[in-house]
């Protein structure tokens, strides 16, 4: 899952917004030196990603994509799901705006030493506050292009991946509507287990 889904699941589960966001930036056991609420969020983030990547409903979506972009389909779906989340019936727009505002405030107070990638992402999110742009499908294309630039091999997939996402929008949207409640339930169970393990 991508940024907005992790934030929404953090709110749903009553766990740290910043902690759930940090899951993409803290590797291995390094998270064990962080505050407990961040540790819990990172563990939940990792569990969500594992659950999502192996879920049969999402595995069944991969063949929709042509062979030249299929290996990027998982990344693309994570990002596209953020668009579906904010444009669906999960909560109204004012609630999304409040969630984003809370996240930006908490992120502004968060520091992570010796992590340049987090520092860059944090600065960009705080300065430009672009999460609400996911109400527009075109933001997914911008995100695909940003991911594309991170590949050193000079691969080109963003435009083709976006075109195929839009082509299969109805199928992807229907799958997401079926999958996401299962993910929310999974998150509730994970947090419950985490609490009782302490």
Closest CA to 76 of 152, 166, 180, 174: 166
In the predicted structure, residue 168 carries a pLDDT above the cut 60? yes
Name residues whose C-beta falls within 8 Å of residue 22's C-beta, 6 or more positions apart in sequence: 31, 34, 38, 41, 42, 45, 112, 118
In the predicted structure, residue 136 carries a pLDDT above the cut 70? yes
186 against 28, higher pLDDT: 186
Mean pLDDT of 55-74: 96
For residue 114, the model assigns a pLDDT of 83
The Cα–Cα gap between 194 and 198 comes to: 7
- 66-113: pLDDT as tens digits: 999 999 999 999 999 999 999 998 999 999 999 999 999 999 999 888
**Percentage of residues in the chain with pLDDT exceeding 90?**
84
Residue 178 pLDDT class (50, 70, 90 cuts):
very high
For residue 196, the model assigns a pLDDT of 40
For residue 195, the model assigns a pLDDT of 52
pTM of the prediction? 0.94
In the predicted structure, residue 198 carries a pLDDT above the cut 70? no
Closest CA to 185 of 9, 6, 1, 4: 9
Residue 193 pLDDT class (50, 70, 90 cuts):
confident
Mean pLDDT of 39-66: 96
Task: Give the pair of three-digit tokens for residue 12.
Answer: 């749903």
Are 193 and 21 contacting, i.e. CB atoms less than 8 angstroms apart? Answer: no
Mean pLDDT of 16-32: 92
The domain ranges of the chain are 3-197
């Amino acid at each position: 899952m991508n940024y907005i889904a992790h934030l929404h699941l953090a709110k749903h589960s009553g766990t740290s917004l910043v902690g759930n966001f940090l899951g993409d930036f803290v590797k291995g056991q390094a998270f064990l030196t962080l505050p407990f609420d961040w540790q819990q969020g990172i563990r939940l983030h990792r569990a969500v990603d594992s659950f999502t990547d192996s879920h049969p409903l999402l595995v069944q979506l991969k063949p929709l994509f042509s062979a030249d972009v299929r290996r990027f389909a998982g990344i693309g779906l994570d990002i596209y799901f953020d668009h579906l989340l904010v444009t669906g019936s999960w909560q109204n727009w004012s609630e999304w705006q409040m969630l984003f505002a809370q996240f930006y405030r908490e992120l502004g107070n968060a520091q992570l030493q010796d992590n340049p990638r987090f520092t860059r992402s944090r600065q960009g999110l705080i300065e430009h506050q672009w999460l609400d742009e996911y109400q527009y499908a075109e933001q997914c294309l911008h995100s695909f292009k940003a991911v594309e630039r991170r590949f050193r091999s000079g691969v080109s997939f963003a435009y083709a991946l976006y075109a195929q996402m839009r082509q299969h929008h109805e199928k992807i949207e229907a799958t997401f509507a079926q999958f996401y409640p299962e993910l929310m339930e999974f998150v509730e169970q994970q947090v419950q287990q985490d609490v009782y393990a302490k």
